[in-house]
Amino acid sequence: MARRRQVGRKTEIEREKKHSTKMGLPPKPLSLLSLSLTFLTILGFFPSAKPSTDFTNLVYKGCADQKFQDPSGVYSKTLKPLFDSLVSQSSTKNFSTATSGEGQSSITGLYQCRGDLSNSQCYTCVGKLPDLCTKLCGKAIAARVQLSGCYMRYEVAGFKQVTATELLYKVCGSTQASQSGFEEKRDTTFGMMEKGVEGGDGFYTGTYESVYVLGQCEGDMGGSDCGDCVNTAVERVKTECGDSISGQIYLHKCYISYSYYPTGVPSQSSAESGQSTEKTVALVVGGVAALGFGIACLMFVRTAFKKHHSNY
């Protein structure tokens, strides 16, 4: 008798499983939490562990018009060891110079990483520059490639030098400041930056009254020379960019950038990031809306599943 009840119960369970599968529903319902996690993973709401690579974005390139006349391949063979040496050194320090070859065939080069990059980030950034120099400038006898986190330049022996404060590149934001007091806030922040680079190690980043600034000098510049270079860059950006809420000035031996955020500097922002509070808010609101819609759909599925069982 007991055995007959067990067989009957087994038949009932198998019938239930068969009916559930036929309806496209799982034999055992997933919990709302596990379904929510699955939904979030599909939509990509979980933050990625991949580190930011913003510091490898191309800012500008400068290539000499004159090309290597190199039928024997001497310069090509000299340039590769130079690149290899610079990249190797970037794993331990953020600035270095090197020379490859001898006499008129020698080539001198250097690299510099932004002062807030780690050694590993510096190495990653500089490691991209040799290929970019070749791709963007070909066989130019002198070249400079600037990424947002580092730059590299090289030149053949005897190449004409430019002054430390020669303007190489500029970027001015299209948006003009509309609030009163912008110039005062910006200029105060510039003053802090000038003192910071001169009294420190040639690098400064800081914020004052919603203005973010960054300044850096080439690694072999002394404190006073660095201060003078940054001061020249400041005066240049005032002239070139006027009331723009952002700007970048790259001189031969130093560069500066600034960004003004009327509603407050976003956390973990930089002048190079280009992110805004409005974009961040839009992403968050969009994510919450999608999450709410997803949970509503999941609750509907779960309710339908319960009704199905109660009707059965």
SS3 203: strand
> What does the pLDDT read at residue 292?
45
Do 90 and 127 touch, CB atoms closer than 8 A? yes
Q: What b/e readout covers 96-121, taking b as 16+ CB neighbours within 10 angstroms?
A: bebbbbeeeeebbbbbbbbbebeeeb
CATH number for 167-260: choose from 3.40.920.10, 3.30.430.20, 3.40.50.300, 1.10.10.10.
Answer: 3.30.430.20
Share of the chain above pLDDT 70, in %: 68
Tell whether the model's pLDDT for residue 20 goes beyond 80.
no
For range 259-285, the mean pLDDT: 51
> What does the pLDDT read at residue 44?
31
For range 101-107, the mean pLDDT: 90
Q: What would the two tokens of residue 45 be?
A: 């709401």
> What does the pLDDT read at residue 306?
45
- Residues sharing a CB contact under 8 Å with residue 110, sequence separation 6 or more, in sequence order: 86, 95, 96, 97, 98, 152, 153, 154, 218, 219
Higher pLDDT, 223 or 87: 87
Pairing label, strands 142-147, 107-113: unpaired
- Closest by alpha carbon to 110, among 121, 96, 124? 96
> What does the pLDDT read at residue 180?
87
User: Which range in 48-57, 72-81, 87-96, 303-312 is most confidently predicted, on average pLDDT?
Assistant: 87-96
Cα dist. 56→46, 147, 148, 260 in Å?
A: 24, 5, 6, 23
- Residues sharing a CB contact under 8 Å with residue 199, sequence separation 6 or more, in sequence order: 223
Question: Comparing 120-124, 242-246, 287-291, 304-308, which segment has the lowest mean pLDDT?
Answer: 287-291
DSSP state of 251: E
> What does the pLDDT read at residue 262?
86
For range 44-71, the mean pLDDT: 70
Which residue type occupies 176? Q
- Residues sharing a CB contact under 8 Å with residue 195, sequence separation 6 or more, in sequence order: 227
> What does the pLDDT read at residue 268?
53
- Residues sharing a CB contact under 8 Å with residue 163, sequence separation 6 or more, in sequence order: 252
Higher pLDDT, 131 or 8: 131
> What does the pLDDT read at residue 7?
46
Q: What would the two tokens of residue 211 be?
A: 């203005």
CA separation for the pair 312, 309 (Å, rounded): 5
CA separation for the pair 229, 216 (Å, rounded): 10
Alpha helices in the chain (DSSP H): 2-22, 32-43, 74-89, 119-127, 129-137, 182-199, 223-241, 277-311
> What does the pLDDT read at residue 222?
87
SS3 61: strand
Please give the CATH superfamily to which domain 58-156 belongs: Gnk2 domain, C-X8-C-X2-C motif (3.30.430.20)
pLDDT digits (tens, 9 = 90+) for 29-41: 333 323 232 222 2
Please determine whether the domains at 58-156 and 167-260 fall in the same fold group of CATH: yes
pLDDT digits (tens, 9 = 90+) for 278-312: 222 222 333 333 434 343 443 443 444 444 444 44
Is the Cα dihedral 210, 166, 98, 140 positive or negative? positive
Question: Comparing 52-61, 154-163, 235-244, which segment has the lowest mean pLDDT?
Answer: 52-61
- Domains of the chain: which residue ranges? 58-156, 167-260
